[in-house]
């Protein structure tokens, strides 16, 4: 999942990862070293999980990853060179007997897919993999999702409400841009664009795949063009932190147009599934509860997130204002929550099946079809989710 290093956007990357070598930041800062002799609480992961559970994220530290940082927010060690933070994995304030290492993605791993990173490094226990990536790469780096921290993807298209006062949904975009001569700027390779074209919601006349994550072209167009982004970030950033724009934008979620991927699903390599199942039985409910706890009180975890962004120094800009906006917006828009039932973190079977069909067709047309014989059941499971954990 590729994003920019200034303001973020999303794109489904191809099967071939971008090979880049990054220069690490000098030095590291240990806030508090994890304690090895802590008393284990009600949840004991020590017999079933690796001594350090390693989770590879898909981007720099941000509020969408808050449920992870919630578990180590009070006791951690930062390694600015490797762009990772480690601490005792806590559940409800009690030690679980193992440590948690959270690794940054995006620029920290050369912008390659999390799937590729997991297959290159056996130390990684779990990774953030969106459903579209899992489908596209099922034949080369197969993974299986076990927990959905985000119910709805934040990916959106945004526009100037002064220029386009009548645009409310993705359905309105095509005709509005055509009439005004504007374009929809997006990251080249975004699979949702191929879906929108096949659904008649976009065509080549309004599409521009040159988006590079910076605000310059959007600002220069003076409101004529539209642009992809994340609903939980860019609306705040453009109004409050892009001085050349400095006013509101409106947006529509791509999810509402029918491309209903599960963004950043916590996943394992398919070959590791059986071995890790005893660990996942205990760990997934801990992840669920950490998410519920984070959105109730995100302050401490967000303080850690902002510290990590500062120390990792990858070029990513993230402020307290964006973090606060993100948390509120995720909840208000239902990007995070119980979805259609009363459980946080599970996958909706009908929705997943529908998306599998849509994405399978898109990727088949693009030449990267799902693995032969694959069904939705190969890509996710709800068996470890505690149905009693709810927002």
Q: Nearest CA to 102 among 34, 16, 148? A: 34
- Architecture of the CATH domain 52-150+263-319+335-378: 3-Layer(aba) Sandwich (3.40)
Q: Write out the two tokens for 180.
A: 């005004």
Q: What is the DSSP letter of 97?
A: E
User: What's phi and psi for 155, nearest 5 deg?
Assistant: -60, 130
Question: Residues spanned by CATH 3.40.190.10 within the chain?
Answer: 52-150+263-319+335-378, 155-257
Q: Is the dihedral of CA 282, 287, 288, 292 positive or negative?
A: positive
Q: Which of residues 36 and 130 earns the better pLDDT score?
A: 130
User: What's the whole-number average pLDDT of the chain?
Assistant: 92
Instruction: State pLDDT tens for residues 5-56.
Output: 344 444 343 433 323 332 233 233 333 444 557 999 999 999 999 999 999 9
CA distance linking residue 232 with residue 113, whole number of Å: 22
Instruction: State pLDDT tens for residues 190-241.
Output: 999 999 999 999 999 999 999 998 999 999 999 999 999 999 999 999 999 9
Widest CA span in the chain: 67
Q: What is the DSSP letter of 218?
A: H
Q: Measured in Å, how far apart are the chain's first and last C-alpha atoms?
A: 27
Please enumerate in sequence order all residues whose Cβ is within 8 A of that of 373, keeping only pairs 6 or more positions apart, or say none: none
- Architecture of the CATH domain 155-257: 3-Layer(aba) Sandwich (3.40)
């Amino acid at each position: 999942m590729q994003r920019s290093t200034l303001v973020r956007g999303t794109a489904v990357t191809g099967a071939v990862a971008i090979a880049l070598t990054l220069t690490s930041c000098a030095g590291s800062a240990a806030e508090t070293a994890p304690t090895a002799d802590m008393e284990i609480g009600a949840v004991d992961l020590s017999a079933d999980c690796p001594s350090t559970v390693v989770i590879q994220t898909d981007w720099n530290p941000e509020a969408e990853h808050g449920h992870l940082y919630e578990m180590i927010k009070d006791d951690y060690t930062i390694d600015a060179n490797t762009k990772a933070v480690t601490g005792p994995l806590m559940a409800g304030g009690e030690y679980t007997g193992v440590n948690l290492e959270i690794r940054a993605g995006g620029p920290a791993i050369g912008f390659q897919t999390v799937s590729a990173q997991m297959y290159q490094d056996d130390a990684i226990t779990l990774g953030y993999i969106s459903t579209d990536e899992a489908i596209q790469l099922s034949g080369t780096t197969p993974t299986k999702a076990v927990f959905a921290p985000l119910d709805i993807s934040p990916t959106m298209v945004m526009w100037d409400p002064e220029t386009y006062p009548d645009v409310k949904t993705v359905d309105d975009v095509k005709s509005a841009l055509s009439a005004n001569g504007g374009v929809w700027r997006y990251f080249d390779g975004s699979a949702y664009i191929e879906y929108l074209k096949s659904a008649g919601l976009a065509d080549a006349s309004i599409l521009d795949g040159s988006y590079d994550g910076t605000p310059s072209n959007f600002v220069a167009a003076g409101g004529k063009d539209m642009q992809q982004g994340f609903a939980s970030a860019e609306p705040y950033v453009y109004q409050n932190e892009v001085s050349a724009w400095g006013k509101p934008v409106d947006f529509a979620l791509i999810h509402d147009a029918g491309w209903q991927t599960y963004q950043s699903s916590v996943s394992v390599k398919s070959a590791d599934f059986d071995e890790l199942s005893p660990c996942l039985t205990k760990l997934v409910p801990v992840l669920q509860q950490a998410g519920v706890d984070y959105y109730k009180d995100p302050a401490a975890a967000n303080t850690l997130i902002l510290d990590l962004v500062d120390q990792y120094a990858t070029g990513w800009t993230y402020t307290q204002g964006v973090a606060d906006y993100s948390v509120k917006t995720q909840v208000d828009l239902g990007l995070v929550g119980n979805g259609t039932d009363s459980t946080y973190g599970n996958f909706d079977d009908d929705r997943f099946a529908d998306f599998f069909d849509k994405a399978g067709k898109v990727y088949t047309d693009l030449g990267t079809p799902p693995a032969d014989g694959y069904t939705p059941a190969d890509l996710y499971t709800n068996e470890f989710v505690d149905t009693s954990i709810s927002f």
